[in-house]
Amino acid sequence: MKWKNRRRSSNVDDRRGQRISGGGARGAGLGGIIMTLLIRGSMRTRLLVIGAVLAGMFFFGVSPQALMSGGGGSQPVTTQVAPTPNDEMGAFLSTMKADNEDVWTQLFQAHGKQYKASKMVIYSDKTVMPGGLADARMGPFYMPSNQTIYIDPHFFNEMSQRFGAPGDFAQAYVVAHEVGHHVQHQLGYTDRVHSQRGRVSEKEYNRLSVRLELQADFLAGVFAHHADRQFQFLESGDIEEAMNCARAIGDDALQKGAGRKVVADSFTHGTSEQRARWFNRGYRTGNLEDGDTFSVAYEQL
Ligand SMILES: [Zn+2]
């Protein structure tokens, strides 16, 4: 793909090489105090603490994992000031981010809506996020609460070496998929799914998750369609790179690759075939109306 000499996004926070210090990393702070009270306190103290924690989580939307890891109430700080990314990978990611911003701003406008760009944090290994730590082992992800994409580019090495999905356009697909989650957040799909957590069975929730993920793949395809019209950035083999990547990270492929039995009810992202097909559908039509993965019968997805 061609990506050089285009605009780079200013919504990128490059934290690579930064070390984390402060409460968030060490399990001190509020989380630590709470754990101490729970372990050492009397039964009455424990009940009071549990009540306070539950009330706090309810009002502030803090996840229990965040409290356990000590990130709940402390103020973690990072060392060094974030430099502007000037290396190849940093330049690539901030150009992809800008391409996505340009395409989605126009598509939202065409639908009478206003697009608000997400942020992107590029980090290595671990970094602070609201309520805890982002960890490279989680893979790239989008956090709706602060509308931020977290990405450790080492994931791309893993994609290429472990999953057999190399290529710059495979990487572009991953970025566009995460931006797709931000688009879904703005269109209300994310809340629609998250509000069902705990209200429906695990199997049903997994199915909603599959619908959301396949739609993000579709939106990545829609991006590719419009970005190519705008920037003529596709080269031969690019779309195949993205579809190969979508197949490589299908739930069935990942379960097989890990030597596990393939269990359809545990899928959260969709099969290899589904992921590649929904991406391709978005790419072929470029039409947002073709991506309502929530109206299609689950078996027909
Ligand atoms: Zn996703």
Q: In whole angstroms, how large is the CA radius of gyration of the chain?
A: 20
190 CA to centre of ligand 1 in angstroms: 11
Q: What separation in Å is there between the alpha carbon of 46 and the centre of ligand 1?
A: 38
Does 16 fall in a domain? Answer: no
Say what the pLDDT of residue 72 is.
Answer: 39
Regions in the chain scoring below 50 on pLDDT: 23-29, 32-33, 36, 51, 53-77, 79
AA letter at 141: F
- Distance (angstroms) between ligand 1 centre and the Cα of 172 equals 14
11 lies in some domain: no
Compute, in angstroms, the gap from residue 253 CA to the centroid of ligand 1: 16
Q: Which of 56, 15, 12 is nearest to 34 (CA)?
A: 56
Say yes or no: 243 and 110 in one domain: yes
Of the three residues 75, 108, 137, the one that is the final residue of a domain is: 75
Q: Which residue, among 282, 273, 277, has the nearest Cα to 223 in the 3D structure? A: 282
Q: Do 205 and 70 share a structural domain?
A: no
Residue 145: what pLDDT?
96
Ligand 1 mean position, distance from CA 167 (Å): 19
Q: Tell which of 10, 43, 75 closes a domain.
A: 75
- Domain identity same for 220 and 251: yes
Ligand 1 center–CA 209 separation, angstroms: 9
- How many angstroms is it from 180 CA to the middle of ligand 1? 8
Q: For residue 80, report the distance from its CA to the centre of ligand 1, in Å.
A: 31
Q: What are phi and psi of 176, to 5 degrees?
A: -65, -35
- How many whole angstroms from 235 Cα to the centroid of ligand 1? 25
Regarding whether 92 and 29 lie in a shared domain, the answer is no
State in Å: Cα 141 to ligand 1 middle.
Answer: 7
Q: Residue 36 C-alpha to ligand 1 middle, in angstroms?
A: 36
Query: Same domain, yes or no, for 90 and 198?
Result: yes
Residues 165 and 208 in one domain: yes
Angle among Cα 184, 140, 233 to the nearest 5 degrees reads 75
User: Does residue 47 sit in the same domain as residue 88?
Assistant: no
Q: What is the pLDDT of residue 86?
A: 82
SS3 for 129?
strand
Kindly report, residue by residue over 106-161, the tens digit of the pLDDT: 999 999 999 999 999 999 999 999 999 999 999 999 999 999 999 999 999 999 99
How far does the centroid of ligand 1 lie from the alpha carbon of residue 71, in Å? 24
Query: What pLDDT was estimated at residue 42?
Result: 52
Task: Identify whether residues 126 and 59 lie together within a single domain.
Answer: no
- C-alpha to C-alpha distance for 158 and 249, rounded to whole angstroms: 11
Residue 217: which of 259, 173, 252 has the closest Cα?
A: 173
Same domain, 44 and 104: no
Instruction: Report residue 88: phi and psi, to 5°.
Output: -55, -50
Query: Rounded to the nearest whole angstrom, what is the distance from the C-alpha of residue 139 to the centroid of ligand 1?
Result: 10
Helix (H) or strand (E) holding 21: strand 20-21
Question: pLDDT at position 270, please?
Answer: 98
Residues 243 and 292 both lie in one domain? yes
The boundaries of the domain holding residue 36 are 23-75
Residue type, 96: M
Q: What is the pLDDT of residue 60?
A: 38
pLDDT at 47: 52
For the chain, the domain total comes to: 2
